[in-house]
Structure 1
Amino acid sequence: MATSNAPAPLSRMTGWIPYAGLLVLFWGVWGAFSSLPTKWYGYPDPMVYVVWALTMILPAWISLRGKRFDRGRVAAGYGLLIGLTGAGGQLLLFKALTIGPAYIIFPIIALSPAITVLLAFGALRERLGALSWTGVVLALAAVVLFSVSPGDGGDAGWLYLVLAVLVCVAWGVQAFFMRKAAVAGVADETTFGWMTISGLLLIPVAIVMMGGLPLDFPWQAPALTAVTQLLNAVGALFLVMAMSRGKASIVAPVTNALAPVLTIVLSLVVFGASPTGFQLAGIVLALVGSTLMVYRSEKSAEAEGVDVARAD
């Protein structure tokens, strides 16, 4: 039977772009303004986490509508592991954003692919190409540059840098298990559903950290928190939609690089911050390094998918 070599329709090739653009917009704005409820109203960062966990319900419901939610042991195991590392990272992130600048924190977090790459190398014995190793080296150089010029955390000193690195590690581990879950056949919408459940499970931990629910804040504090965190939650849904419509090796590097760039630009323009030369160099190296690693990782994942399809 003859096969057609005709190119895919343009709509299929570019259908991911609107969703990726919305993701960059939503996550970029969220990153820049997420700390405002705490800075303006003194709203506790654990309470910001509580609101974020609740906002995840909406995109989870949309993504699962009309689809089967897998409650099996494999899906639940991977889903809870992915969700708890992601939600734990969010809990630390909100604390970091209250004491440090977003234009430094988000480039550090963008280095999480380095953790994923190194885990794949150590645990799965995956071979790493030149792009992956180049990205890892640039990531290490970026961390060194950030560490020699902390100076923006006020009395907190190095704490926000430590928290940002912990978030980076948590989300790198999360991405590693996301990949394993996909290989195991767990659907994206199921993973997203378990991520939402995991976020809700950690709400009691956040409440204990606060010593109870705070009731003495003006309505503007939870309202502003809900708006900014809804940007975060819906942005995650746009990521799922973009990934389902385009090649991951294109979508992931674009979104991984551009969302932090928008956060950095908005933070510098709106809040009038001025990074040091070391910090600026670290930002550039972090974004370039993370983009290289994400591209190489997703390209390898797509190649594995083709091999599996041929074997079947």
Structure 2
Amino acid sequence: MMFSTLRTSSFFIARLMGLLIAVCVSLVASSLIALTLPVWLGRSVMALWLVGAPPPGPQISATDAQTEVKVHELYTAACGLYLCWLAARAVSLVLGWLPQGRAAMVDRLKQWCLLGLKTIVASTILLGVIPLLFGLLLELVVIIPLRVPIHQTPILFIWQDWALGVLYTKIACAITMMGPDWFLRAAIERAYRDGIRDMNLTFIFKELAAPVIVSFGLALSVPYVIAYSFVPIFVTNLQLRNLIARRLYPFLLLICVLNVIVFLQIRQFKKLYEHIKNDKYLVGQRLVNYDHRKKTQAAT
């Protein structure tokens, strides 16, 4: 067996060191981009729509506090990573459509743009407007009467109410799906079955969004109109006006809950009455030995 000597090229050590330096620089650059780019994107996106509450410190003005909103870096990184994933997914889809031709790619882009527009509109209504109204309603009905004294002015933070409204909406949807069969449950089930690709905006607007928005809008506007339009005509005391305005929302909610309970009880009693009558007098599909007029005349 013969061994050949290793012939090194000129400047072998320098080239090897250059390769190692290039590897280190590329690793550092890729790590830096992977760590900073998602965070920067997340900060930029959140700075467009996130508005925080000013801290209670008296030395900071409202404008300075709003400009110094602090968001946890985990949220910004998650938002940036999601945006990067969306961009990579879009690029991969476009590259996959290129072999099909220009016309097919344009048709696909039109379909996806239309689907994205429909999704944005539906998400704005179902995940934006409805949770915001729900959060504001529960803020006025439950949280403010329990936590804010009468002599203090309540401050509403829209983003916090919206975030709580999203949680309340999820709970309400779960309760609705576990409840009896009615139009709202049927609408939610159909919207879930259709999904995003077969989304019907007309059905979502008419059967799902419109009844909920109208109900929440009336629940928010009717007490406000009563408290600030009709009550000042009959009540001149400012403290009594404030008390009525603050307690009117839970009072009307209590009345609505009582009406619903009474209606359900009346409905259950009617079902019980029909069940007892059918068990006593119904043979097959025909009533026997039951003459309401004769019994009434005999009783009189």
User: Normalising to structure 2: TM-score of the pair?
Assistant: 0.25
Per the normalisation by structure 1, the TM-score is: 0.24
Is the radius of gyration larger for structure 1 or structure 2? 2
Identify the structure with bigger relative contact order (alpha carbons < 8 Å, sequence gap 6+).
1
